[in-house]
Structure 1
């Protein structure tokens, strides 16, 4: 990591929100790891981002598709892809949450 990437990384880390669930209840919530996963993506650590939060690779296209759908109102195929990405995202989030609870 060069100096510029290091400075950007440190700057982003300063603005990460703490998990209230983890602080109050003592265990991870279903969203724990999402911010760190995005940060790892910015660094180019794609495998580490997936290991941190597996749903990152379904959530990014899902968010992009929702934005594009709102702007351009996709009629053919957009809804099917939206449903598929939504279901796979929910499945990955829940599977990751259960895995973290058990380990």
Structure 2
């Protein structure tokens, strides 16, 4: 199982998409760091994943809830989606502003 995760990680790192915004304008976009954060999660480096892209920990549950609700009904689905969406947006914007100000 560990070997499969390592192979997946190697493949992910070899095929990460470059940031078009960063290439054109020289500044990060609000999504910069998401791919690397996923790679850190696969590696098991949860602190580095958070440092790279803090919203990863709200986006994953949000995605799981959205997908799961297609198959089974989740109680309080709307409340969960709203809470996780707002949290994700706030984390993404805060992280982006800190990157722009070079405080992060």
Unaligned runs of 5+ in 1: none
- Contact 2:16 2:35 (8 Å CA) reproduced: yes
Distance 2:32 2:63 in 1: 18
- Alpha-carbon RMSD across the aligned residues, in angstroms, is 1.7
Distance 1:38 1:24 in 2: 24
Aligned residues: 101
Partner of 1:55: 55
Deviation of the 1:12 alpha carbon: 1.6
Distance 1:84 1:77 in 2: 11
Cα distance change, pair 3–101 in 1 and its aligned pair in 2 (3 A): same
TM-score under structure 1 length normalisation:
0.89
Deviates more, 1:28-37 or 1:63-72: 63-72
TM-score under structure 2 length normalisation:
0.88
Cα distance change, pair 86–3 in 1 and its aligned pair in 2 (3 A): closer
Distance 2:65 2:3 in 1: 34
Unaligned runs of 5+ in 2: none
